[in-house]
């Protein structure tokens, strides 16, 4: 970067930071400002300005390392990419206007300084977009894995009886996760009866039913019985209209009745003890 510009930035760092925070808050989407407290916003803003300055003070490796750390932070804070890239533009505008007021930018050298700004800012903007995008993709990927692990839990409720509550849409990828969790869980918990609860599944179409039937068949192959519970009236009507055959299932309309039936199948029952409160 032009030494005149870099010297001006370093000499007016605090003033630039104050102006940048004020302008950014005025122009930012309310959602961005609400996401974090003023203290965190001020801290992240200072780090952003320090990051910009480090682009022409430190080594390229140090700059990239700081850029990666900052990108990870703003992704966690929920700052959109447009907010970050617009922040770089605002920074350049504040510096340029300040240099104009002090007479550093003149009609004679204005085009040269504008060119210097562009030559410095464009690669930095591209680098920010690249690092932010890769950080965001990595974060989303990790979140997706975590959600998949939680999306089809198998819960032991009594000895030999386990329940898998399903919530939300079931696609092919999730169906594979359900199948895997069912089989691993049934073996791990020594399940005799597995209840698949579809109370939270909004739509049961041919594909969803096919996945559930496949899961039930797999459970039977390892020696456990499978029961489908949580069939609401509208789901029952859809199943009939689609001609889906669930004759191989024991079906119950809610989890309570399913557990009662599972207790009976495993020769267990719940009794009240005399004198117990």
Over residues 140-153, the pLDDT tens digits come to: 777 776 666 556 78
Q: Which residues of 17-56 are buried (b: 16+ CB within 10 A; e: fewer)?
A: bebbbeebeeebeeebeeebeeeebeeebeebbebbbbbb
Tell me: pLDDT of 276 over 60. Answer: no
Would the pTM of this model clear 0.95, i.e. be above it?
Answer: no
Chain-centre distance for alpha carbon 204: 26
Residues in contact with 173: Cβ distance below 8 Å, sequence separation at least 6, in sequence order: 148
Going by the DSSP 8-state scheme, the letter that residue 192 receives in this structure is S
For the stretch 227-244, pLDDT in tens is 888 888 888 888 788 787
> Furthest-apart CA pair in the chain: how many Å?
100
Residue pair 34/41 in contact (Cβ under 8 Å)? The answer is no
End-to-end CA distance of the chain: 80
Chain-centre distance for alpha carbon 209: 28
**Location of structure tokens 């489908």:** 228
Query: Across the strands, what pairs with 225?
Result: 193
Chain-centre distance for alpha carbon 270: 42
Residue 256, phi then psi, degrees to nearest 5:
-60, -50
Query: Highest mean pLDDT range out of 23-37, 216-230, 232-246?
Result: 216-230
């Amino acid at each position: 970067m032009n030494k005149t510009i870099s010297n001006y930035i370093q000499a007016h760092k605090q003033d630039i930071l104050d102006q940048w925070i004020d302008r950014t808050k005025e122009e930012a989407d309310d959602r961005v400002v609400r996401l974090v407290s003023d203290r965190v916003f001020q801290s992240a803003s200072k780090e952003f300005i320090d990051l910009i300055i480090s682009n022409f003070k430190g080594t390229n490796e140090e700059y990239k390392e700081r850029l990666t750390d900052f990108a990870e932070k703003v992704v966690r804070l929920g700052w959109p990419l447009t907010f970050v890239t617009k922040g770089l533009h605002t920074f350049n505008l504040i510096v340029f206007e300040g240099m104009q007021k002090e007479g550093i930018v003149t009609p004679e050298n204005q085009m040269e300084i504008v060119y210097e700004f562009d030559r410095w800012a464009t690669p930095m903007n591209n680098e920010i977009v690249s690092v932010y995008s890769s950080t965001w993709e990595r974060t989303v990927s990790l979140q997706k894995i975590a959600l998949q692990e939680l999306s089809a839990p198998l819960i032991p409720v009594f000895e030999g009886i386990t329940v898998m509550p399903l919530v939300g849409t079931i696609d092919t990828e999730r169906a594979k996760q359900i199948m895997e969790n069912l089989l691993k869980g049934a073996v791990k918990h020594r399940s005799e009866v597995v209840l698949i609860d579809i109370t939270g599944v909004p739509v049961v179409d041919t594909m969803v039913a096919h996945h559930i039937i496949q899961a039930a068949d797999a459970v039977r192959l390892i020696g456990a019985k499978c029961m489908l519970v949580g069939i609401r009236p509208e789901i029952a009507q859809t199943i009939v209209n689609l001609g889906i055959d669930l004759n191989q299932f024991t079906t119950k309309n809610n989890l309570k009745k399913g557990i009662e039936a599972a207790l009976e199948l495993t020769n267990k029952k719940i009794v009240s003890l005399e004198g117990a409160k």
